[in-house]
Amino acid sequence: MKILKSLLAGLFFLGVVTTNAADTADVVDTAIKAGKFKTLVAAVQAAGLVKTLKGDGPFTVFAPTDAAFAKLPKGTLEMLLKPENKGKLANILTYHVVAGKVPSKAVSTSKVKMVNGQKANLKVANGKVTINGANVVAVDVMASNGVIHVIDSVILPPKK
């Protein structure tokens, strides 16, 4: 319960509105409406993933905020957004997505398989939830085809 209260406090701090029932907007449109994911949406567009993420899903998206993208080393985002890096960008973005709808009440410490096929470390400890070290700062932003959990850093897949 303490974990949920901490996460909900972060949710309201960020100004993200949640609902108990799925909204009519998909995960892409929900991210657009939130206004804090402009960089993520631009990256999803550049990677050619809009149609996929507007599909039936369900998806769980660990969505980095614009501030999270701003933490990347200078020039990294610009490099990834170039057409010749579309595959690399898609790999990074799909490392933020789980196939299936995983609400916060179902989150536990585990290795989770991401859509890109690699595993990420989800950790619940001391009232905090992290994924590969990124803090989950808001949970259960519901969409018609899944759920968004907001994170404060971009997570990078391990090198193969």
Domain ranges of the chain: 2-151
Which helix (H) or strand (E) element contains residue 39?
helix 38-46
What local confidence, expressed as pLDDT, does residue 13 receive? 37
What local confidence, expressed as pLDDT, does residue 20 receive? 42
DSSP string, 79-121: HHTSGGGHHHHHHHHHTTEEES---GGG--SEEEE-TTS-EEE
What local confidence, expressed as pLDDT, does residue 5 receive? 38
Selected from 1.20.58.390, 3.40.1010.10, 3.90.180.10, 2.30.180.10, the CATH number assigned to the domain covering 2-151 reads 2.30.180.10
Residue ranges of the chain with per-residue pLDDT less than 50: 1-22
> What is the C-alpha to C-alpha distance for residues 71 and 1, in angstroms, rounded to an integer?
30
* Beta carbons of 154 and 80 less than 8 angstroms apart: no
In single-letter form, the type of residue at position 152 comes to D
Longest dimension (CA), the chain: 46
What local confidence, expressed as pLDDT, does residue 23 receive? 52
Pick the closest to residue 44 from 25, 18, 24, 69 (CA basis): 69
Q: What 3-state class would DSSP assign to 127?
A: coil
> Looking up tokens 């949406």, which residue turns up?
41
